[in-house]
Structure 1
Amino acid sequence: MSDPQKQTIKVVDAFDLDDELRSLLKPGTMVRDPLGRRHRLPRYFYEIPSHEAAVQIRLAPHFGLNEFILVDLREAQRLQQFPRYVPCAVRILAFCLQQFRASVGASVHIAVNGGYRSPSHKMAINGTPHMWGTAADIYRIGPNILKTKEAIERFNEIALDLSDDVMVMPYGHETGQDADDHIHLDLGYVTVIPREISEDRMEIPQETRPRFAFEERRRRDRRAPQPAAEMAPTGTEKPQ
């Protein structure tokens, strides 16, 4: 089995997928949020080849890629089959949830249909950030099943302290506006374009010349390459 810390993930341009997948993922389509604001659906996705790969790939130390793609029959049948697709911004969500986990000091569990939902998912209404892979519905924290107002409000406050970019739903019983059996945490309408992919082509299908790349693991050395003149050996001086 390959090392999950070194495993690469294939990045694809959804405009290059087949007709059925494009019709379900709707890359680049404008949708309206509950307040009528327009947002463009993501174009770049991670391609997950198998269930085993989804389990093995870690987006954060305590979050595997599989946790963000748990769906039931409300998702389109084709999108339940491997290879599966999830927007690249899911990595930012995983980072945020890792910080949330550290703040609460317990494991964090995402509900079925609580991670990525495609635009074709029956629960994907009103431009929810779930369609960007930037929202999570958390039903359990440690041993605590989130069913009470007190628990949901307490953990909502912890989530809000993470960043001004985090939004939560208040406790309540109106679907899509409130939550009474989970915490809804989202980062808004974020899209991510991994540095390995090129954007130099038009937004039209290119199935015969697909655009894809493999995202490299950057866990240890994130420094950009330095110009040769700045890489003088230690103890020597650069030419004046």
Structure 2
Amino acid sequence: MRPLFYFLVFSLLIACSSKPKPETVYQSKTLQILKLQSGLYQHISYIQIPNYGPFPCNGVILLDQGEALVFDSPVDDYVAQELIQWIESQELHIKGIVVNHFHEDCLGGLQVFHQHKILSYAHQKTIELAAADGMPLPQNSFVDSLIISVGQYHSINSFAGAGHTQDNIVSYFPEHKTLFGGCLIKSLGAQKGNLADADTLQWARSVEHIKSKFPEVETVIPGHGPAGSSELLDYTIKLFTAPKT
């Protein structure tokens, strides 16, 4: 009986110490919204990749005290409108949207946010690259970092260096100890992916800078694929660290 007793106690301790699984609060064919923690949600839309099919793209919603802040637009106008409608159905005012980088999976539906008079924010380089690429343009720029608050919560939006693109930022939520890394951060087991605009030599160094800047991070949300712990940072660093010769 004693081994069984210890096994049950050990199993109970694991269950109590493990984080609760994200709760799906909205689901359609084009959009999924997960509750990660109180005041912090993840939105998932899908981009069509030739010879692959629908590929999930992550974003975040920070909300508190009747306000919401969105991080990355869904990939097109239709799903952007769907996301806005869901947020407003929760009796929330959307005070802004923060764009991670200039690719379609971050600002494809940005124009819809502008039509709703929602302010947008991005790194200065994101606006320059989006203009050159004929993409919708974020309205407000920053260079190093920008802090935007929603009620009692804060988002620290920082440029840590080039990687997936020359302009990719990360958004850290200190009260939740959660980092939205966007496409700069890879999910566990992911490959290097789209490198068309990448700086593969700088990539690992940029993620190392993030680790040192936000050492208390517990949850990391990549641009694509499942969220995880800070081991996603280590995985990304290893993936883009050249082997020693």
Give the TM-score, by structure 1 length: 0.27
Give the strand-richer structure, 1 or 2: 2
- TM-score norm. by structure 2 comes to 0.26
Could you say which structure has the higher helix fraction?
A: 2
The answer to which structure, 1 or 2, has the higher relative contact order (CA under 8 A, 6+ apart) is 1
